[in-house]
Amino acid sequence: MSILEESGRGLLLGNEAIVRGLIEAGVKFASTYPGTPSSEIGNILEEISEDAGIYFEFSSNEKVALEVSAAAASAGVRSFAFMKHVGLNVAADPLMTLAYSGIVGGMLVLSADDPSAHSSQNEQDNRYYSTLSLLPMMEPSTPAEAKEMIRYAYEISEALTLPVIYRTTTRVNHARSIVEYGPRTDTPAKGHFYKDDKRFVNIPAFARLNRVRLLELNKKAQELSEVSPLNRIEGSGDIGVITSGVSYTYVKEYTSGAAILKLGFTNPLPEKKIADFIKGKRYVVIVEELEPFLEDQVFRICAQNGLGVPIYGKRSGHLPREWEYSPDTMKRLKELIAVKDMSAPLPPADVKLPNRPATLCAGCPHRGMFAAGKRAVGKKEVVYCSDIGCYTLGLQPPFHAADFLICMGGGVGAAGGFDKSTDQKAIAYIGDSTFFHSGVGPLTSALFNDHKIVTVILDNRTTAMTGHQPNPGTGRGFGSINTEPIDVETMVKGLGVKFVKTINPYDVKEAEKVMKDALDFNGVAVVVSKCPCPLELKRNNKLRVRECHVNQDKCIHCHMCVKTIACPALVKKGDIVRTEPAQCIGCGMCANVCPKGAIEVKE
């Protein structure tokens, strides 16, 4: 069933439910930079936004995504900016001052947090952005609730003239539950920006006044939170549990007997409701993932209200701060509340199991580039500065092409730092989408400050890791908007980089030569490794069907192919290397490095 139907129900992924929520709330403007666990929202909008009457864009980064949506909402159009948790760090600058100017049409800023860092570099708790920015925040617990809360969140946003932070976690975004489709409301697709310098131009004189305005609005938000149906009490008893987000589902299903205060409107907290809930309880347990965000505020609320009721949770050592919760986490609360009996797990198998880490795909062009880089470097000592994308997997053997990784676009900047502070040569590997996201700035700085670095732009013509979204390097071709791709080489030359060479990473030998020259270059060298992602080609039925085959008569069993490329389509058993037809895409990288020409590529 289509997500655009008038009515019905579906077994929706949290991210699908969120899109349905946008449709029902009549949202007309959406923007993002893709990031797991929020990525599918963009993939769905790419497909349906035009039919749904929503303007949608993949912005070049989260900061831009927040800015375009902020402008739309300031002109009275309901807008939605969404990103993964670390993306909100990038967008934090506009967020903080947008809180001062506020908006006219409703605006949600979705932050998809990733406890346990399933596909992230950290597990930061973005709920603190709500207290930092003084913006209201809502936290759904299930996909069904994620849809329901959206319409309500827009009403709150418009009542307060403030954007609302909509905070989800992986187990909401990537959970599925039954979602009932509700009626769709309509809102204007075009707005008008009514100038108001005192609000929208935060020069110091106005910012000081807007700070006061924001604090006043915060009081109003507090009143709304007190009476919000999203903050509700379930059950009764002299033991209390306060919880929010997905943790609520574990408390609800795997414990019993306690009164539960389920919080959905979590900034500002309903302080009076919380104090009334705690009053008369023997003790209260706070169940929330990651930081003691609710817990510390509950301690403060107790202190202000003269309540001496014991509070248990993270500060008492009952619950962990690290990693996501699960039903098993509830076992830690056995001495405090009734926890459902759970069956004893089977003992683990007594066979040593091989690990199965995520790995670069068969025929992934990054393999060729990493192999070429490693050969060109030889015995020289270099620092590989990696970045956020599939190529982070270059960390694995045999490449070991990631020594330093902090954030999107961080590798190019770090390479300059290593160049100036050590005698080690620094190579930065960065993807095409990531380069447009935040690699251009540090490359400009490298030129300005004479960082002698090699920057390799792994241009696979898509944003692969998050599910193949378009980026400025591919041009846009959806929603009746067609734009030309921005050519990376021309752009880099335009900045003034003197050494710019584009190579085909499937030709490992040639790429190695170019990398040698780049390493010898006394300045900023840029190598563009240009080759489309085979997964993306497969998806679009554009992959040329070829196959590599090892001629066993010619093979001398040097295993150069396996040692250099380590493609999953190369299978080594004993001394014999074969190709696995189910996996091989016939890219010929292995043939390129074979010293005896024993690997043949056939159409």
Q: Is 351 in the site for another protein (CB under 8 A)?
A: yes
Contact region for another protein (CB under 8 A) — 196-204, 228-236, 486-494, 565-573?
A: 565-573
Binds another protein by CB under 8 A, chosen from 359, 444, 502, 504: 359
* Cβ–Cβ < 8 Å for 66, 109: yes
In the three-class reduction of DSSP (H, G, I as helix; E, B as strand; rest coil), residue 422 is classed as: coil
State the minimum distance, in angstroms, from the CB of residue 11 to another protein. Answer: 5
Q: Measured from the CB atom, is 350 or 381 closer to another protein?
A: 350
Using alpha carbons, list the distances in angstroms from residue 133 to 97, 116, 128, 205, 466.
8, 25, 9, 19, 28
Chain residues 573-592 in contact with another protein, contact rule CB under 8 A: 573, 580, 582
Provide the 10 A C-beta neighbour count for residue 484.
Answer: 8
State the minimum distance, in angstroms, from the CB of residue 471 to another protein. Answer: 18
Cα separation, 471 vs 445, in Å, equals 23
What residue type is assigned to position 375 of the chain? R
- Phi first, then psi, for residue 348 (nearest 5°) are -65, 155
Cα separation, 90 vs 95, in Å, equals 10
Q: Is 85 in the site for another protein (CB under 8 A)?
A: no
Q: Measured from the CB atom, is 154 or 250 closer to another protein?
A: 250
Q: Is 356 in the site for another protein (CB under 8 A)?
A: yes
Q: Which of 517, 580, 591 is nearest to 554 (CA)?
A: 591
Q: Measured from the CB atom, is 278 or 393 closer to another protein?
A: 393
Q: Which of 337, 349, 370, 328 is nearest to 458 (CA)?
A: 370
Q: Measured from the CB atom, is 164 or 401 closer to another protein?
A: 401
Contact region for another protein (CB under 8 A) — 59-67, 88-96, 252-260, 514-522?
A: 252-260
Which distant-in-sequence residues (6+ apart) come within 8 Å of 31 by Cβ? 56, 57, 58, 59, 64, 65, 66, 68, 69, 79, 80, 81, 82
* Cβ–Cβ < 8 Å for 88, 129: yes
Name the β-bridge partners of 252. Answer: none
Cα separation, 463 vs 256, in Å, equals 45
Binds another protein by CB under 8 A, chosen from 209, 212, 342, 481: 342
Report helix angle 271-278 to 293-304, nearest 10: 80
Q: Measured from the CB atom, is 28 or 171 closer to another protein?
A: 171
State the minimum distance, in angstroms, from the CB of residue 140 to another protein. Answer: 12
State the minimum distance, in angstroms, from the CB of residue 235 to another protein. Answer: 14
Tokens 């959970």 belong to 175
Q: Is 338 in the site for another protein (CB under 8 A)?
A: no
Binds another protein by CB under 8 A, chosen from 153, 382, 393, 550: 393
The pair of three-digit structure tokens given for residue 338, joined into one six-digit string? 């009734």
Kindly write out the interface string for residues 108-147 of this chain, putting x where it contacts another protein by CB under 8 A and - elsewhere. ----------xx---------------------xx-----
Q: Is 272 in the site for another protein (CB under 8 A)?
A: no
Kindly write out the interface string for residues 178-207 of this chain, putting x where it contacts another protein by CB under 8 A and - elsewhere. x-----------------------------
State the residues that interact with another protein by CB under 8 A. Answer: 9, 11, 13, 36-37, 39-40, 118-119, 141-142, 171, 174-178, 246, 249-250, 252-254, 326-328, 342-361, 390, 393, 397, 465-466, 559, 562, 566, 568-573, 580, 582
